[in-house]
Amino acid sequence: MTGSTDKGSSRRRFLGNVAGALGGAMVTEAQIAVAATAPRQEPGRGLVAGRVEPFFGTHQAGIATPMQSHLYFAVFDIVTDQRGAVEALLRRWTEASAWLTAGRPLENEASADQIPLDSAEAEGLEPARLTLTFGFGPGLFVKDGVDRFGLAAQRPAALVDMPKFNGDQLIVERTGGDLCVQACADHPQVAMHAARHLARIGAGVVQLRWVQAGFSADNPHKKGETARNLMGFKDGTVNPDPRDAAGMAQHVWVGEDGGWMKGVAYLVARPIRIAIERWDRMKLGFQEQVVGRHKASGAPLGGVHEFEPARLDAIDADGNYIIPENSHIRLAAAETNGGARIFRRAYSYDNGLAHIAERWPPWRQGLLMDAGLMFLAWQRDPRSGFIPVFENMAKFDMMNQFVTHVGSGLFACPPGAQPGGFIGDTLFARLILPN
């Protein structure tokens, strides 16, 4: 760090850049000050050593990245009608993300009469493999029929308005959104700090709409073992292998045909509540029939090893399918959905008690805890991925007795940024209209 004059001038320079980048956006001085949360390494403090996931790359990190233990998923509404302000924010988010994911300390030198620029709860914590993955909801392109930013013509056909599925009980406050950030890290406070910081940078341009924290049972000491979800079953056994580039290209990334969308992946994000108290009262045999797998080993019913193929055509002595017709894995399998595959990277969640105002009678015990699965599924097109797979499951899956979809979002997650570029630049670079 050089002397205070230098600090002042570099800060002024940065403020100038932000004001310029906001390009005429109607933002207040205070909002610019917050937007100017300049990430900067301070000599003497240095980086906290630890595992780092690279932020820049062909694809955004946080999709093919091996799962971290914690999630903080944040969804925003855009509250400005100035495209320049949205673009400036994406530049700022990119810059801040590169610093945050590298574990670099943010500038935080408030005097007693100043508001600190960094909330500081990640001070001293290692980077914890933080990834920040951004997505564009339909509302970035068209909102209530209005083309707010001149982006309507660029809306991908695959970024559909989600159909209503059988059994959906979507809560408006946990549904939709114009932008999303998936923060994943091996420390909950690192993930939360990053999302909180990005929200803060966005003041005046975006506003939080819904958030969901989550955790995974992924055990770093037992790598290779599939994590268990809150139903106690191994979850993630049959999934495209993120290390298989060809498989990911086939199922997850949009290819050459995509225009600005080349390298996009579509994210279906759904908080799914599980009536865990009710589930816990079910006999083991019934639980296994519901899922179609053995609970202890994770093997498909009729099998012994977790990763052996499920024999969907196998029948028992009475002529019934060993893996029941309305079991979860049969209805979800690519074989029963015309080959449709999605890449699941889901986290469990626990929002505490759903109702605390009164003591529920025993018959309502299943409604007590607001816990479940933050379902996150990636694909190259939801019209040939999540939608056909779930349409069938939503009607017939035995698991539906225990799970309720309470929120939903669909996001086009743009390609990764290159150094000097920003998240979404392939979209914004195509635009010539002033705004």
Binding mask 156-175 for ligand HEM (x = CB under 6 A): --------------------
Torsion of CA 329, 282, 294, 68, to 10 degrees: 70
Stretch that binds ligand HEM, among 215-223, 280-288, 331-339, 351-359 (CB under 6 A): 331-339
Q: Measured from the CB atom, is 203 or 268 closer to ligand HEM?
A: 268
Q: Measured from the CB atom, is 201 or 373 closer to ligand HEM?
A: 373
Residue 314 CB, shortest distance to ligand HEM, in Å, is 14
Looking at residue 168, its amino acid is D
Using CB under 6 A as the binding rule, whether residue 92 contacts ligand HEM is answered as no
Look at residue 222 and give its three-state secondary structure. Answer: helix
Residue 134 CB, shortest distance to ligand HEM, in Å, is 23
Stretch that binds ligand HEM, among 98-106, 213-221, 230-238, 256-264 (CB under 6 A): 230-238
Q: Measured from the CB atom, is 86 or 291 closer to ligand HEM?
A: 291
Residue 339 CB, shortest distance to ligand HEM, in Å, is 11
* Token pair 């994000």 in the structure block, residue: 269
Q: Measured from the CB atom, is 156 or 240 closer to ligand HEM?
A: 240
HEC profile for 321-378?
ECCCCCCHHHHHCHHHCCCCCCEECCEEEEEEECCCCCCCCHHHHHHCEEEEEEEEEE
Q: Measured from the CB atom, is 279 or 428 closer to ligand HEM?
A: 279
Looking at residue 163, its amino acid is P
Using CB under 6 A as the binding rule, whether residue 231 contacts ligand HEM is answered as yes
Q: Are 378 and 345 in contact (CB under 8 A)?
A: yes
Q: Burial-class residue 4 by CB neighbours within 10 Å (0-12, 13-18, 19+).
A: exposed
Using CB under 6 A as the binding rule, whether residue 17 contacts ligand HEM is answered as no
Residue 216 CB, shortest distance to ligand HEM, in Å, is 13
Using CB under 6 A as the binding rule, whether residue 403 contacts ligand HEM is answered as yes
Q: Are 133 and 417 in contact (CB under 8 A)?
A: no
Residue 272 CB, shortest distance to ligand HEM, in Å, is 4
Residue 343 CB, shortest distance to ligand HEM, in Å, is 9
Nearest CA to 132 among 100, 177, 179?
A: 100
Segment 259 to 298, residues that bind ligand HEM, using CB under 6 A: 272, 274, 291, 293
Stretch that binds ligand HEM, among 49-57, 169-177, 249-257, 329-337 (CB under 6 A): 329-337
Exactly one of 238, 282, 367, 431 binds ligand HEM (CB under 6 A); that residue is: 238
Residue 353 CB, shortest distance to ligand HEM, in Å, is 19
Q: Are 390 and 161 in contact (CB under 8 A)?
A: no
Give the number of other Cβ atoms within 10 Å of residue 45's Cβ.
13
Using CB under 6 A as the binding rule, whether residue 133 contacts ligand HEM is answered as no
Structure tokens at 367: 């409604």
Rounded distance between C-alpha atoms, residue 104 and residue 95, angstroms: 12
Using CB under 6 A as the binding rule, whether residue 389 contacts ligand HEM is answered as yes
Residue 348 CB, shortest distance to ligand HEM, in Å, is 9
Nearest CA to 172 among 140, 210, 135?
A: 210
Nearest CA to 208 among 170, 240, 177?
A: 177
Distances (CA, A) of 57 to 52, 133, 298, 345: 14, 12, 35, 20
Using CB under 6 A as the binding rule, whether residue 390 contacts ligand HEM is answered as yes
Using CB under 6 A as the binding rule, whether residue 310 contacts ligand HEM is answered as yes
Residue 397 CB, shortest distance to ligand HEM, in Å, is 8
Structure tokens at 7: 């600090």
Distances (CA, A) of 404 to 64, 140, 235, 337, 411: 27, 28, 18, 22, 21
Using CB under 6 A as the binding rule, whether residue 372 contacts ligand HEM is answered as yes
**Binding interface with ligand HEM (CB under 6 A):** 229, 231, 233-238, 272, 274, 291, 293, 310, 328-329, 332-334, 342, 372-373, 375, 386, 389-390, 393, 403
